[in-house]
Amino acid sequence: MSEHDAVRACPACGGGPLVAWRTVPGSDPALPGDYALARCPACGSAVTLAGVPAAAHEEGAYGGGAPRGAGLAAPLLRAFDRRRLTFLARAGGRPPGRLLDVGAGRGRFVAQARAAGWAADGIEPSLRGVAGARTLGIELQQAGIDEAAVPPGSLDAATLWHVLEHLDDPGAALDRIAGWLRPGGLLVIGVPNLGSVQARAGGARWFHLDVPRHRTHFTVAGVHALLRRHGLEPVSTHHLLAEHNPFGLWQSVVSRATRTPSWLYHALKRNAPVRSRDALVTVAALVLVPVAVAAELAFALTRRGGTVAVVARRV
């Protein structure tokens, strides 16, 4: 996509034209440079104008290998996965039924959904993810959304967890997925919320900006409009997400004082030097963690959480 194509219309709501907004530094030490963003005057969503380097999803924080502290995080990650299942359950999506995790990573959520009684499968474009899932006894279909083989109308539920923001054409992806769902089937989407308090507080260094990998930076209005344009009616929107929100707020604030953007995140991903001035700043800022937890709770109540989960029903 050229910059001129990108500025025509908003990929979320279809409105526009997009207008120049701000230039932000690459969010990953492995992807330096400045990236121009344009914003939609109608829904407030934004897009990253420059293309994404071909290997961006294999480099830096996405480089693979076990993060530091992975063992400690495992029970927490399982709890986050169960919460995603409760969003489905509250909208009437309960096992048994066929569920597809789209962009399944290493298959952790597929395993959790199977344990809960779903007939769950996943598609994942990266060989690394497919190989990782095999160690859990899960065979993912190695495919992107545009090439995956899924029978039309075959799914009771699909999940798209922090995937949509990585796609240059999110509408085309939703068209495909809506076609895989039976009428009345449910889709759960997780995306960063550009309309959040932490997006504003973090500015160009907002943790969930992840430029240039994130192509569209959605607001809730943008996600809702996008879903409706592709035959999916939003039924619930959740702002209280312990998985991403307190850390995103804390890391965004601390990033204002570190040289490396999101230093702790990148250090855990073995993507930033551990012995550094940034480490001292980060340790000092740990006292702010409870403040970030309480603040995101308050922001969720005012529906301005750092990331959101939206459940939609295929009409």
Query: Interface with Zn ion includes 10 (CB under 5 A)?
Result: yes
Q: Which is nearer to Zn ion, 20 or 280 (CB)?
A: 20
Binding letters toward Zn ion, positions 14-53, x by CB under 5 A: -x------------------------x-xx-x--------
Residue whose CB is less far from Zn ion, 187 or 220: 220
The answer to whether residue 104 forms part of the interface with Zn ion (CB under 5 A) is no
**Closest CB to Zn ion among residues 227, 292:** 227
Distance of CA 120 to the CA centre of its chain: 20
Least distance from Zn ion to the Cβ atom of residue 190, Å: 19
Residue 209 binding Zn ion, by CB under 5 A: no
CB of 42 to Zn ion, least distance (A): 5
* Cα–Cα distance measured from residue 50 to residue 111, given in angstroms and rounded to the nearest whole number: 36
User: Which CB atom, from 42 or from 88, has the smaller least distance to Zn ion?
Assistant: 42
- The CB-side HSE value for 97 (13 A sphere, CA atoms) comes to 20
Considering the complex, state which of residue 4 and residue 275 has its C-beta at the smaller distance from Zn ion: 4
Decide if residue 191 touches Zn ion (CB under 5 A): no
Nearest approach in angstroms of CB 5 to Zn ion is 16
Amino acid at position 262, single letter? S
Q: Does 12 sit near Zn ion (CB under 5 A)?
A: yes
**Cα dist from 61 to 104, 129, 225, 267, whole Å:** 17, 15, 31, 9
Q: Which is nearer to Zn ion, 40 or 227 (CB)?
A: 40
User: Are 289 and 67 in contact, with CB atoms under 8 Å apart?
Assistant: no
DSSP the chain: --HHHHTTS-TTTS----EEEEEEE-SSTTS-SEEEEEE-TTT--EEE-SPPPTTGGGSGGGS-SPPTTHHHHHHHHHHHHHHHHHHHHHTT--SSSEEEEES-TTSHHHHHHHHTT-EEEEEES-HHHHHHHHTTT---EE--TTT----TT-EEEEEEES-GGG-S-HHHHHHHHHHHEEEEEEEEEEEE-TTSHHHHHHGGG-GGG-TTT--EE--HHHHHHHHHHTTEEEEEEE---TTTHHHHHHHHHHTTT-SSTTHHHHHHTT-S-SSSHHHHHHHHHGGGHHHHHHHHHHHHHTT--SEEEEEEEE-
Closer Cβ to Zn ion, 157 or 167, answer by number: 167
**How many residues of this chain interact with Zn ion, rule: CB under 5 A?**
8
Task: Kindly list the residues in this chain that would bind Zn ion in the complex (CB under 5 A).
Answer: 10, 12-13, 15, 40, 42-43, 45
